[in-house]
Structure 1
Amino acid sequence: MTDETQLKILIADDEPLAAERLQMLLARIEGVYLVGTAHDGESAVRMAEALEPNLVLLDIAMPGLDGIEVARALSRSGDSPAVVFITAFDQFAVAAFDVAAIDYLMKPVEADRLSRSIERARAYLIAREDRAPDELPAAPTSPWLEEFWASDLSGLVRIAARDIDRVTAERDYMRLHVGKRSWLIHHSMAALEEGLDPDLFVRLHRSAIVRRDFIAGFSRNASGRWIARLADGNEQPVGRLYADQVRAIAGR
């Protein structure tokens, strides 16, 4: 697949109005070609095998095979299509991650959000083609958390762990800070500390984890407690229980 090649898309949605809306939105996007529309899971698998789309826009709640099962079935082929889930339900995000979905959009889908998702799928397919997997050894699976799903105004967004500047606790939720934006996820600080790569992240407080290269320096306040100066100009107090982390980072 090249940048100039049209992206062949299959829609799989048992709601005629939802499928029709996707068709109209796709008609406004350059470089895509709709090869067909399936209205249940079984026909989605059959049509994907016959029509060989590059991308499947896949509903989750469908009669027969649901969208997750369809994605698993498609992944068994050697050159499986990319999958973007489009659904009215947000509770399937973890399952979508498990089947390596490119994106997860909430209904009703907005035109610009769909367009961004299409471009993400295109970039993924081009990169996959360039990898020449038969010539390279398989990459080992990382034992650390590599990405998260978080709620967004347009649905759910996938956040790469390496892009997170810091994590702060807010009652039963954790806030992931990425640049000037932030997202809440339902997680515990202890679980994040165990799951995030310790070579990349360090816990500085009972309610804060910071990416190591986001720390610009340390200073002490009037009471002698350490304060971490962050790359964005903010400061993060270091808890007394985590003072050893400062000495370890500074090599003292």
Structure 2
Amino acid sequence: MQPTISTIVVDDEPYNREELIYLLQAYSSIQIVGEADSGEACVMQAIQKQPDLIFLDVEMPAMNGLQVAEILNELKKPPLIVFATAFPEFAVQAFRYEAIDYLLKPYDEDQLHQTIQRIEKRIFPTDDADRDLGTANKLGVENDGEVVYLDPNDILYIYSEEKRVNIVTSTQSFETKKTLKDLELRLSTYPFFRTHKSYLVNLHYITRLTPWFNGAFNLTIKGKDKPIPVSRNYVKALREQLEL
């Protein structure tokens, strides 16, 4: 059976919602599991259904798409987001929320096709070159004009700071142009855990979990002094992953 991409379509305008759902039905890889007419309804459905993908309108009353995206990125399993709007000026803001793409209304079928291809490549990588994880299971990162191939098992943690993403090993740190969400997907077969919207941690190197503030925790990584934050929403799941 062909795998599918569970998808929610969010737009406060019924016609726009119906049009996009109609266009998406042409793609066998897309499985519509829900639709929502508000940001609040989108968040509830995302928590309940844990979709792979959300097409998200930007301009909505009460809670706009950018505010929704900020909440979605805090989930244990953040969905991929495609923003959809009639206003191109939101594009720069949208990609700050790690959107995989940005569609303008009225929908252009060629642009939508390119978007679906990009999503399929992300979720169903078949070409090792696309994944940067080839037959040797290495992660390629650029470093001083060269490409360094890291064994994922040697990575302690990955974090984003001031729009930069850094990969930390026991001996070195590498800056990468890849997003944290992209790395989380590429490393999904390894024991990495999203402890915070800005941190992805290798479970094998965690040595201590310490209460911090208001239900949040800090964790200690073997050989490193820097504490790693654990958002309170992730604490229970993290303990379940770590403990017998």
Taking structure 1 as the reference length, the TM-score comes to 0.51
* 1:30 aligned partner, one-letter code: S
Structure 1 spans left out of the alignment, 5+ residues: 148-252
Matches within 5 A, 1:143-182: none
Helix, strand or coil at the partner of 1:53: coil
- Seen in structure 2, the aligned counterparts of structure 1 residues 7 and 123 have a Cα distance that, compared at 3 Å, is same
Equivalent position to 1:100, from 98, 101, 104: 98
Contact 1:8–1:32 (Cα < 8 Å) also in 2: yes
Determine the structure 2 residue equivalent to 1:59.
57
Deviations 1:159-199 (A, max 9, x none): xxxxxxxxxxxxxxxxxxxxxxxxxxxxxxxxxxxxxxxxx
**Cα root mean square deviation, aligned:** 3.1
Change (3 A) 1:125 1:12: same
Question: Which residue is equivalent to 2:75?
Answer: 77
Q: Distance in 2 between matches of 1:97 and 1:55?
A: 15
Q: 1:126 to 1:75 in 2, by over 3 A?
A: farther
Query: d(CA) in 2 for partners of 1:55 and 1:7?
Result: 7
Contact 1:13/1:19, CA 8 A, preserved across alignment = yes
Residue in structure 2 matched with residue 203 of structure 1 by the alignment? none
The answer to whether the Cα contact below 8 Å between 1:10 and 1:36 also exists between their aligned partners in 2 is yes
1:121 and 1:96 map into 2 onto residues whose CA distance is 17
**Which residue of 91, 101, 108 corresponds with 2:89?**
91
Tell me how far 1:135 sits from its aligned partner. 7.2
Q: Deviations over 1:87-140 (max 9, x none)?
A: 000111111111010001100112222122122122223468x78989733167
State whether residues 6 and 33 of structure 1, in contact with CA within 8 Å, keep that contact through their aligned partners in structure 2: yes
1:15 to 6, 13, 16: 13
Q: Which amino acid aligns with 1:33?
A: Q
Give the alignment of 1:100-119 within 5 angstroms: 100-119=98-117
Deviations 1:206-238 (A, max 9, x none): xxxxxxxxxxxxxxxxxxxxxxxxxxxxxxxxx
Give secondary structure in 2 for the equivalent of 1:8. Answer: strand
Q: Which runs of 5+ in 2 are unaligned?
A: 126-130, 134-138, 140-150, 167-174, 179-244
Normalising to structure 2: TM-score of the pair? 0.53
Supply the distance in 1 between the matched residues of 2:7 and 2:52 (Cα, whole angstroms): 6
Aligned ranges 1:172-251 → 2 under 5 Å:
none
Contact 1:82 1:125 in 2 (8 A): no
Give the corresponding residue for 2:158: 138
1:91–1:138 Cα change, 3 Å:
same
Q: Identity over aligned residues, as a percent? A: 34
Aligned with 1:37: secondary structure?
strand
The 8 Å contact of residues 42 and 65 in structure 1, kept in 2 or not, is answered as yes
What is the CA-CA distance between 1:142 and the residue it aligns to?
A: 6.1
Given the superposition, is the C-alpha separation of residues 25 and 139 from structure 1 closer, same or farther in structure 2, using an over 3 Å criterion?
same
Q: Distance in 2 between matches of 1:46 and 1:32?
A: 21
Q: Following the alignment from structure 2 to structure 1, what is the Cα–Cα distance between the partners of residues 96 and 153?
A: 23
SS at match of 2:33: strand
Q: Which amino acid aligns with 1:123?
A: K
